[in-house]
Amino acid sequence: MTESKDEKKKESKDKKIEKELEEKDKRIESLEKSLEEEKKRAEDYLNRLKYLQADFDNYRKRVEKERGNIIRREKALFINRILVILDELELAIKNQKEAKEKDILVEGVEMIYNKLFKLLCEEGVCVIDAVGKSFNPDLHEAYLTVQTEEHPNNTIVEELRKGYMLEGKVVRPSIVKVAKNPVKNEVNVEHIRDN
């Protein structure tokens, strides 16, 4: 009987150990399941963070581009205001030169004009070539057309106001006179005779 009591104790102890092992296995499974869920959640957070970082980089690039556009636009407005002064100085020099009397005032104005023009060139402003070139509506603004056979059709014959570009973009188009060849009305004499 003692053996049976010992066996029963042993069996009871084995069952208890078995039960504890089952509970530990369940806890391990539960912990593994929780760990897997946390891994998925961490991956989700990491993906969200990557998207957020990409969105922020795109936003930063867009803001930098917009800032650059604003700076270019403001620079173009400033240069346009300077160009009016440049036009007036150029006109004063031209009128004085045509007057045949050189004056110290003209030399001073000419020096100011040259310095101002050099400053604009250093800022990336360049003159649009016009006279003798083909009319281009992106670069030139036609003020008048001149009927002539001396120049090819759509050739600029005179520049009324200089045009300027800033970093490859038109700040102010040239105002020009454009040659138009007269239309010749040729009558087909043979066609008239046949009718």
- Please provide the DSSP assignment of 22-83 as one string: HHHHHHHHHHHHHHHHHHHHHHHHHHHHHHHHHHHHHHHHHHHHHHHHHHHHHHHHHHHHHH
pTM: 0.49
| pLDDT given for residue 66 in this prediction | 92
Q: What is the CA radius of gyration of the chain?
A: 43
| pLDDT given for residue 188 in this prediction | 52
The residue extents of the domains of the chain are 1-91, 127-195
Question: Which residue reads 């917009």 in tokens?
Answer: 66
| pLDDT given for residue 189 in this prediction | 47
H-run or E-run covering 161: strand 156-161
Residue range 127-195 in CATH 3.30.420.40 = no
Report the length, in residues, of the chain.
195
H-run or E-run covering 117: helix 104-122
How far, in Å, CA of 166 to CA of 128, rounded?
Answer: 10
As averages over each run of 10 residues, the pLDDT of the chain (195 residues) reads 68 81 88 91 91 92 91 83 80 73 72 82 84 86 82 84 86 88 61 51
